[in-house]
Amino acid sequence: VDLRRLRPVVEAAALRGRAVLVVHGEHDPLVPVAQGEAIAQAYGARLWITASLAHAGSLRDGPHTYAAIMLRFFTRHLMDE
């Protein structure tokens, strides 16, 4: 996938009204946290900013916390469906 061609903020309208959790590392070297904030706002989503130093490193950096938050989020929203 050519990541330069993806426009998640533009595509956000398709998911509006659905439960979305955006996870973004505060120190992501590839994608600034402001972009994570913009994506969450466009989706009307919950935003969880982690202390991760790597892109897509939130799970690896804190697996127990990550699993607990994901479980809580999905349980809440899948049970509501």
State the DSSP string of 39-71: HHHHHT-EEEEE--SSTT-HHHH-HHHHHHHHH
pLDDT for 27 equals 95
pTM over 0.85: no
Separation of alpha carbons 41 and 12, rounded Å: 9
Q: Give me 22's structure tokens.
A: 């955006």
* Residue 39 pLDDT exceeds 70: yes
Place 7 in a pLDDT band, splitting at 50, 70 and 90.
confident
User: How confident is the model at residue 81, as a pLDDT?
Assistant: 54
pLDDT tens-digit map of 52-70: 999 999 999 999 999 999 9
Please check the confidence at residue 80 and state whether its pLDDT lies above 80.
Answer: no
